[in-house]
Amino acid sequence: MSKTYWVYILKCSDGSYYTGSTSNLEKRISEHKLGSIKGYTSKRLPVGLVFSEWFSDVNDAISAERQIKGWSRAKKEALTNGDFELIKILSKKKWKKTRN
């Protein structure tokens, strides 16, 4: 049986988003909710899980985490809403902006 790795997004009490990755999603979310992971989320409690996706390869999960961390708030919200068409549109808009 292969190991499962997760990328996840939490919505914090101030409306911001936190993206992370882990091999034990339930444990990690619990740690965030309890504030036992010091840092960004512990200062913005309560937090709630708004997105998660599993990977069979740890490198794929880490890559997805890094990619999402670089996204705009609008793209993260589109992802949490499952609006993949909007993600494509927002990606094209960014590309056009950097071309000019």
- Summarised one tens digit per residue, pLDDT across range 5-31 is 999 999 999 999 999 999 999 999 999
pLDDT single digits (tens) 43-82: 999 999 999 999 999 999 999 999 999 999 999 999 999 9
pLDDT of residue 94: 56
Dihedral angle, C-alpha 42, 36, 33, 44, nearest 10 °: 0
Residue 27's Cβ-count burial label (10 Å; 0-12, 13-18, 19+) is exposed
- Rounded Cα distance between 42 and 4, Å, is 25
Q: What are phi and psi of 6, to 5 degrees?
A: -125, 145
SS3 16: coil
SS3 45: coil
Question: Where do the domains of the chain lie, and which CATH numbers do they carry?
Answer: 1-69 (3.40.1440.10), 72-100 (no CATH)
pLDDT of residue 91: 86
SS3 52: strand
pLDDT of residue 92: 81
Question: Average per-residue pLDDT in the chain?
Answer: 92
Q: Give the global pTM.
A: 0.88
SS3 22: strand
